[in-house]
Chains A and B, each alone.
Chain A
Amino acid sequence: MTPTSSPLPLPPTHHRTGAVAALALATLMQILPAGPAAATEFNLPQGPNRALIYAKCRTCHDLQYVVESKGMNASAWDGLIDDMEGFGVDLTPDERKKIVTYLQTYMGDTPPPAPSATPEVKTKVDGASVFAENCTACHQEDAKGIPETFPPLAHNSDLFLARLFPVKVLLNGMTGALRIKGAPYEGEMPSFSHLSDAELAAVVNYLRQSFGNDALATKKMAAVTADDVKKLRQSPMDPEKVLEYRASLE
């Protein structure tokens, strides 16, 4: 994903003029997805712990609320996370601190002039932590999901539908009505294309070996590599096309 290229203008004043509409528009445009690969999500400014926003803040609403709140002062962001915790966001004290710092820095009233262009690269990637950090807000820590809302990834043979199927889900997201282990879901699996190739490969391999899934492998499947993910990034799919693709495998 392309980092935003310049600082965002200050929020509009309450004068209703064409110029202000254009300014408000410019504000949003710079956070807009830059290309097809990124077209699945709002492109938040690069910065430490940005992935935590994608991990913890898409369960109830999408990130437009965060994007439109850009420019709030530091205490307002801190207070807002209290609100979200009241609504049901489950954060460890460490996660809370990281999220607040990210929002205060990059979505605050004095954002850094140019966000650092280099995305974080984790040196050591382990699938268990990628799962714990990014997937549990919806699929839950035990991967059992929430009935009617978020499907289980535990004891789920769909992970073996095709070697690269879960990678396609992670890169593009998946939306629409489907049945998982016999139960109907009709939600939105958001895209995780902001995670690195190595992280996405690791989480898929981890899921296939954990939560009782290892026993479900019908045929031997080679582990997913970072290179596989990198190649698939070149051919983005619409989230509903991923669902169609899934149906073709069933």
Chain B
Amino acid sequence: MTKDQKSGSMSRRQFHRLAGMTVAGAAVSPTVARMAAAATPNPSDIIAGVNPTMIIHNAKLGVMETPLTLLRDHDITPKELMFIRNHFPPAGKQAWMATTDAPMVKEWNIRIGGLAVRPRTITLKDLEGMEQVKRVSVMQCAGNGRSFYAAKAKAPGGQWKHGGLANVEWEGVPLKAVLDKANVGPSVEARFLTANGADESPAAKGADLIKSYHLEDTALDHAILAIKLNGEPIPAVHGGPVRLIIPGYYGNMNVKFLNELSYENMQSPTPFQSKAYRMVNKPVEPGKFTTRDYDLGNSHPTYGFKIMSVIFAPLAEDKVKAGPVEIRGVAWNDGTAPITSVKVSKDGGKSWEQATLKLSDSPWAWHHWSLKTNLSAGTHTLRVIATDSLGRTQPIDGTALWNPKGYEWNGVDLVKVTVS
């Protein structure tokens, strides 16, 4: 615990000034960490309760990713290690965003309306009174892995490595059950369900983060209005008190601080739907297509996770002794088809060996894989590639899917280890 937490004062904002130093500290180099330590920057002073070695991408908003050296230690990611990516705080609730403690709310309303005959409001209490279901699922930022696109051309924003990733247990009420119970009577021209949360841009003419989904989207069949994360009320930094969870969908699609669902005949005009968080339909080239060129016809929202696998051990940071080693990690996809194969290469991709895959009970969770093998002294380039039953797999060179905002990275992972 830091001095500030003990004294109970607001510590989140005090460390804004140290944003730069925090980055240095988190990037882990002994010398620099010491320099930074003089100024005691610490992610857990920006958001009380997070692990102090989280890697900051934006101190003002508390955006941070998880170092893989810690992410790998848990099957279910604890909240202190879960990456955080927020755009704006809910209006007037900055204090909620300074801690991983869940906000103390007794009342929370979700308005269900739009093109509906009987618009109505359901409450947190209503949700608590309904039958609860669990979803163990990967939560992943659409920008996870963005930094790796820089090998082709730099994409804007936080240069995420693999740490915009978590595997957690959500609990709540199925979206369909809530809509049935509310019985608002969507009109025939309704084509989209639109979700909005309580977060608001601080700017006078700021855009709101709103998301629209096709009504026939089958992913909605598994969606829940979550009120618990890993068995506890959801911290606001992860979208509490109520978050729309669509298992298998990229983070931004899972609307936080949910307070409005509406039936619409077109998707929301907010740039968060029409310009940002979109993936191009066809490959584009840097310099020829920029973020401004997105339109509804040439791109689609970042829906389901692309199939992906990551090496958890050994990592470049690990000391590896020559002889028998276990190469291990996780693989995941959008949950619509089982992962059938994970292959590992010790020679940069020339030859591949089948890893042992342990499928999780939940199709949306990450699945652990491992390969017991031998490594000789010297430098080795480890790679891993996953395939699912639909034949979907990962590009050897992930930059083939380069896109201006650097979303949906799923290039075959590459770790260089030195074995002594």
Contacts and interface: CB of A to CB of B under 8 A. Distances in A.
A177 to B, nearest CB: 6
A90 B205 contact: yes
B292 A82 contact: yes
Given A13-B150, A14-B150, A16-B416, A33 B29 contact: no
Interface stretch (B52-60, B172-180, B185-193): B52-60
Contacts of A120: none
A69 B406 CA distance: 11
Contacts of A29: 24, 32
Contacts of B315: 16
B27 A187 contact: no
B287 A186 contact: no
Interface string B396-420: 0011000010000001011110000
Given A11-B150, A88-B205, A89-B203, A17 B10 contact: no
Contacts of B153: 72-73, 76
A16 B316 contact: yes
A139 to B, nearest CB: 11
A176 B157 contact: no
A240 B159 CA distance: 29
A80 interface: yes
B20 A42 contact: yes
A40 B9 CA distance: 20
Question: Chain B: interface secondary structure?
Answer: loop
Which of B61, B153, B286, B290 has most chain A Cβ within 10 Å?
A: B290
Q: How large is the interface on A (under 10, 10 to 19, 20 to 34, 35 or more residues)?
A: 35 or more
A62 to B, nearest CB: 4
B14 A21 contact: no
Interface stretch (A121-129, A146-154, A161-169): A146-154
A15 B416 contact: yes
B32 A25 contact: yes
Contacts of B399: 14
A60 interface: yes
A241 to B, nearest CB: 9
A95 interface: no
Interface stretch (B91-99, B232-240, B323-331, B339-347): B91-99
B158 interface: yes
Contact of A87 (B18, B207, B290, B404): B207
A41 B24 contact: no
Given A12-B150, A60-B88, A82-B291, A68 B205 contact: no
B13 A188 contact: yes
B290 A176 contact: no
A176 B10 CA distance: 7
B56 A88 contact: no
Contact of B19 (A42, A71, A72, A76): A42
A225 interface: no
Given A14-B148, A88-B203, A32 B159 contact: no
Given A13-B151, A87-B206, A88-B201, A76 B286 contact: yes
A69 B156 contact: yes
Contacts of A133: none
Interface in A65-83: 65, 67-73, 75-76, 78-80, 82-83
A182 to B, nearest CB: 15
B105 interface: no
Interface string A175-189: 111000000001110
Interface in A12-71: 12-18, 21-22, 24-25, 28-29, 31-33, 39-43, 58-65, 67-71
Contacts of B415: 16
Given A15-B414, A25-B32, A61-B58, A239 B17 contact: yes
Contact of B151 (A14, A109, A140): A14
Contacts of B150: 11-14, 71
A43 B29 CA distance: 21
A205 interface: no
Contacts of A12: 147, 150
B292 A83 contact: yes
Contacts of A14: 147-151, 398-399, 411, 414
B276 interface: yes
Interface string A113-148: 000000000000000000000000110100000101
A16 B16 contact: no
A87 B206 CA distance: 5
A24 B411 CA distance: 20
A4 interface: no
Contacts of B148: 13-14
A62 B32 contact: no
Nearest to A72: B154
A88 B60 contact: no
Nearest to A73: B287
B38 to A, nearest CB: 11
Contacts of A146: 202, 204
A239 B205 CA distance: 27
Contact of A79 (B9, B28, B293, B416): B293
A43 B23 CA distance: 14
Nearest to B27: A25
A186 B95 contact: yes
Contacts of A87: 201, 203, 206-207, 271, 276
A86 B19 contact: no
Contacts of B88: 60
Nearest to A87: B207
Given A61-B58, A90-B203, 14 more contacts: A13-B151, A16-B316, A42-B20, A64-B19, A64-B20, A75-B287, A76-B154, A80-B290, A88-B201, A88-B206, A90-B205, A149-B202, A176-B13, A239-B17
26 contacts: A13-B150, A14-B414, A15-B414, A15-B416, A16-B416, A29-B24, A39-B18, A43-B20, A58-B60, A60-B88, A60-B202, A64-B58, A69-B154, A70-B154, A72-B153, A73-B153, A78-B290, A80-B290, A86-B275, A88-B204, A90-B205, A109-B154, A146-B202, A176-B13, A240-B9, A240-B13
